[in-house]
Amino acid sequence: MSVAKVVEIYASSDKSFEDAIQKGISRAHKTLKNVRGAWIQEQKVDVEKGKVIAYRVSMKVTFVLAG
């Protein structure tokens, strides 16, 4: 039997939503062991002068606790 924990992560990118997600997962992996998945809750963009300048994601990352 395993026990999992979920943490909420916010990440951003000036390239794409995919890049923001990858940055968030990569950063979570540096701190958390056994990252197993993520649920993308929300996607937003920042707009300036009619152009998208940042892609932002809110996600819940699941990792398994060692036991």
CA dist 8 → 1, 52, 62 (Å): 24, 24, 9
Q: Provide the domain count of the chain.
A: 1
Q: What is the pLDDT of residues 3-12, one digit of tens each?
A: 999 999 999 9
- Structural domain harbouring 33: 3-65
CA dist 12 → 41, 50, 62, 63 (Å): 14, 19, 19, 21
Residue 18: CATH number of its domain: 3.30.1660.10
Q: What is the pLDDT of residues 31-60, one digit of tens each?
A: 999 999 999 999 999 999 999 999 999 999
For residue 67, the model assigns a pLDDT of 61
The reported pTM is: 0.88
Helix (H, G, I), strand (E, B) or coil at 28: helix
